[in-house]
Structure 1
Amino acid sequence: MSDPTSPATPPAYQPGGYAPRPAAPSGGPGSPGQPVGSPFATGRYVPRTETRWLWCVAGLILSIAVVVASVRLFVLTPAWRMVDQAAFLGSTLGREQVEPYAKVVLGVVSPLFLVGATIVAVVLALARKAFGDAVRAVVVVVGANLTTQLLKGVIERPIDDLPQATYGNSLPSGHTTVAASVVAILLIVVGRSWRPLVALLGVLYAGATGIATLALAWHRPSDAVAAFAVVAAWSLLVLIPNRGRAVPDVVVNPLRILVSWLLGVAAVAGLTVGFVALSVAFARAGGDLSSGSALLEPVTRRAAYVGACAGTGGAAAFFVWWQLLARR
């Protein structure tokens, strides 16, 4: 006779839903990946089929496409390269008010911070006896940050046609890559019930870092978006399992549902506002790169900068949301 507390035994169906699984003896887990007494669990279980690999593969392809599109549009296409520069110039508007906060956010980022965060992630994974997750965390950090530095070196951004251009290529953003990779590895190593909270706090930190690089004119908006995509690509790559496997049940986590909706709405809203604002700047500039270009008018720069900040925040929410869904 099968053990009713075995993880392989599906819960009995009762009117109104699935009955809670009895707690496992000796303080063992109540279900795969979900400890008894989780602060976010409801105790109800719903059968499902593992589809994580689909999310991972689709997200990996999309992330690579975003990096390619960022280079193709904002580095190699003169008109959109000009809009990217307009957002860069627009950061001077209101910089005095946000500069102290932006410096605090960016001051956290350093090689020591990245190494320390990686060590913490590995320790958390080993404490859960998730040795594969420890390896994945190291691969994501090394792979994402090396990829960013490699792309910086091989991509050439023409600047002769850009007003007030002081330096060439800066895509992807190194600071944003560091922040996003820290969030990504924490989503990999923490327990399932804590991932929604990590995702919520992580998107605030990663998004703030990306926007701070714009506010201080350290980077153009395409740099931050490409950085999010690079990290997501590595994170989703290491999460692709060898095969889709059937999982009999998962705990219903209201916080995960809430955070997923919040991230989804934030992503759609931010990316929509960003697209509209950058399109307005694009239309006003009209391809004119002269010293009297509409690109240099305050209203155009403000529209481009607002769109860049909204789009950067939306991109952060989108990629963290996708990683949360992929990391069931």
Structure 2
Amino acid sequence: MIGNTSPVLEDARGAVDVGTAVGTVPGRDPRRRWWILVAAGAVLLVGSYAGFVLTATGQALENAALRGADQVAPRSLAESDDALAGITVASLAVACTVIVMAGLLRRSVPLAAAAVGTVVVGQVVTQVLKQFILPRPALVTASEAYTGNSFPSGHTAIALTVLAATLMLVTWRVRGVALFVVASWAVAIAGYTLESKWHRLSDTLGSAAVTLVVASLASLWLHRRGLVRTVGTGGHRARIVLVAAPLAIGAVVSAALGVFLLVASDDVLGVNPVTEYNVYLALQSLAAAGSAATALALWWSWHRIEVVTPPWRRTRNVAARD
């Protein structure tokens, strides 16, 4: 008598039945989601650059926010600086190493390559755009500290691409937890870049755009290799309520607060300490909303799907009976 304790079943040709895999079903083709995000990212990149960097009004508004950030309490500023200082070349290398190891632990070299490629390519694209392709013309009178080009934000790009890689790496069962933990950090980083005056609102939106495009193209590459499957999640809607819904509510509230502060403030382009601080709070809220919306979009693109990886092989118990 031969017993097999492994839950994985194999047919005579060695094909693997992966249990919950149900294939990409009509009406749930994940490629459509990723192409939508590629298009959305491209529109966001062009829109944020054209609206904030290539117009005098956009530059003046973001300069007002930078002046408003001068009023941030020293303790809050120190916390913000410390959080941003933790993102270095060394910490990025460590993050990439962990991502590769996670992909290999799932026994998938393509998954490891797609995940770490999202982070690395996202950073390369961000720096190339900032240094060589997208200049910041001098359209308004400002001090030298406010004229340097910072579009897109490298720090925000790192945070959001690490989030994208994480959602790609994990299985659907733990994706909600991963979203809650990593998205909280990524959204905070976007806000910190404005608080510490390292970046502007447009920079964070540009980074979100780059992340959407790069992460979606990496996901499409995995799908092209036949490594993406849909899963039957059963009754797990509670995860959406507990994780995705609060993030969505937070994004809406932050966006509404940002718009309200801009509308309620008098002469947002004028030189007034109170107004400048309100503009800073408004744009920081919009930056948080943009990053939260990006996190939700990345989660949605992988909702009820995951990467197929080889199953663990359990030792087969062989028992002989006369």
Q: Distance in 2 between matches of 1:279 and 1:165?
A: 29
**Separation in structure 1 between the aligned mates of residue 278 and residue 44 of structure 2, nearest angstrom:** 22
Mapped partners of 2:125, 2:179: distance in 1: 23
Q: Note if 1:138 corresponds to 2:116.
A: yes
Structure-to-structure mapping, 1:289-300, within 5 angstroms = 295-300=270-275
- Within 2, Cα distance between the matches of 1:107 and 1:78? 31
| Aligned counterparts, 1:92-171, within 5 A | 92-153=70-131, 154-159=133-138, 161-166=140-145, 167-171=147-151
1:302 to 270, 277, 282: 277
- The residue aligned with 2:261 is 277
Q: Note if contact 1:48-1:247 (Cα within 8 Å) is conserved in structure 2.
A: no
After superposition, the C-alpha distances for 1:143-187 in whole angstroms (9 at most, x for unaligned) are 210111011122221335143352321111111111222111111
Report the equivalent of 2:235: 252
- C-alpha contact 2:20 2:231 (8 A) present in aligned 1: no
Counterpart of 1:321, as a letter, is L
Structure 1: which 5+ runs fail to align? 1-23, 34-46, 286-293
Q: The residue matched to 1:116 in structure 2 has which SS?
A: helix
Q: Partner amino acid for 1:54?
A: R
- SS of the residue corresponding to residue 250 of structure 1 reads coil
* 1:206 aligned partner: 186
- One-letter amino acid of the structure 2 residue matched with residue 239 of structure 1: S
Q: Distance in 2 between matches of 1:141 and 1:248?
A: 26
Describe the SS at the equivalent of 2:270: helix
Indicate the percent of aligned positions where both proteins have the same amino acid: 24
Q: CA RMSD in A?
A: 2.6
- The 1:246–1:199 alpha-carbon spacing in structure 2 relative to 1, beyond 3 Å, is closer
Structure 1 partner of 2:160: 180
Other-structure match for 2:201: 221
Query: 2:20 matched to which residue of 1?
Result: 31
* Structure 2 Cα separation of the partners of residues 246 and 175 of structure 1: 32
1:318 is matched with which residue: 277, 293, 305? 293
Give the direction of change, closer, same or farther, for the CA distance of 1:117–1:157 in structure 2 (3 Å limit).
Answer: same
TM-score by length of 2: 0.80
Could you tell me how far apart the structure 1 residues matched to 2:55 and 2:28 are?
41
Deviates more, 1:182-191 or 1:160-169: 160-169
Give the deviation of 1:210 after TM superposition. 1.4
Seen in structure 2, the aligned counterparts of structure 1 residues 142 and 245 have a Cα distance that, compared at 3 Å, is closer
The structure 1 segments of at least 4 consecutive aligned residues displaced by more than 6 Å after TM superposition are 243-246
Distance verdict in 2 for CA 1:248–1:233, change over 3 Å? closer
Please tell me whether residue 266 in structure 1 is matched to residue 266 in structure 2: no
